């Protein structure tokens, strides 16, 4: 099955750009979270908390982009293209992880906050990145036909 109309092609092109931007954002977020988690284990100064705050904002932006991609997947599905939303199944894990991190943050348990960022959030982000690679491959397949 190929791209049937110009609107579908525009959606696919926009999604491919969004996927590329999001993959780049994940790499940057993972690196920053790792740096922040290492610093948080040593000190709890203003710079560390500013970095943590920026990391959380970046994750929020990432989740917003993924939501937009989900809307695009829904549109393409109604246009007859088969794209699985399973690629974002790891997003379900994020809510529990963020709640756990918030509890640790409220309790000023900085080691736990750092561990959650490094050992739970980063792996989830890397799994999401794999899903985005799969989505990008599928969008390329659709666009080539």
Tally Cβ neighbours within 10 Å of residue 13.
13
pLDDT confidence of residue 119: 94
Give yes or no for residue 69 having a pLDDT over 60. yes
> Would you tell me how many other CB atoms lie within 10 Å of the CB of residue 43?
10
Residue-wise pLDDT for 43-56, tens only, equals 888 888 888 888 88
Which tens digits make up the pLDDT trace of 71-125? Answer: 889 888 888 888 877 777 767 777 788 889 889 989 989 999 999 999 999 999 9
pLDDT for the residue 55: 84
For 7, other C-beta atoms within 10 Å of its C-beta total: 11
Q: Which residue ranges make up each domain of the chain? A: 6-144
% of the chain at pLDDT higher than 90: 30
The C-alpha torsion from 26 through 28 and 29 to 34, rounded to 10°, is 120
Q: Is 1 a residue whose pLDDT tops 50? A: no
Q: Can you read off the two tokens belonging to residue 111?
A: 């080691």
């Amino acid at each position: 099955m190929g791209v049937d109309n110009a609107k579908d092609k525009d959606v696919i092109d926009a999604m491919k750009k969004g996927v590329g931007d999001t993959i780049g954002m994940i790499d940057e977020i993972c690196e920053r979270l790792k740096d922040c988690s290492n610093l948080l284990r040593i000190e709890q100064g203003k710079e560390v908390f500013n970095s943590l705050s920026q990391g959380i904002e970046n994750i929020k932006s990432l989740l917003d982009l993924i939501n937009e991609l989900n809307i695009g997947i829904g549109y393409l599905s109604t246009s007859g293209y088969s794209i699985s939303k399973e690629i974002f199944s790891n997003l379900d894990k994020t809510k529990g992880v963020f709640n756990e991190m918030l509890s640790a943050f409220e309790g000023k348990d900085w080691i736990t906050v750092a561990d959650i960022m490094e050992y739970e959030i980063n792996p989830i982000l890397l799994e999401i990145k794999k899903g985005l690679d799969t989505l990008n491959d599928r969008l390329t397949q659709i666009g080539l036909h």
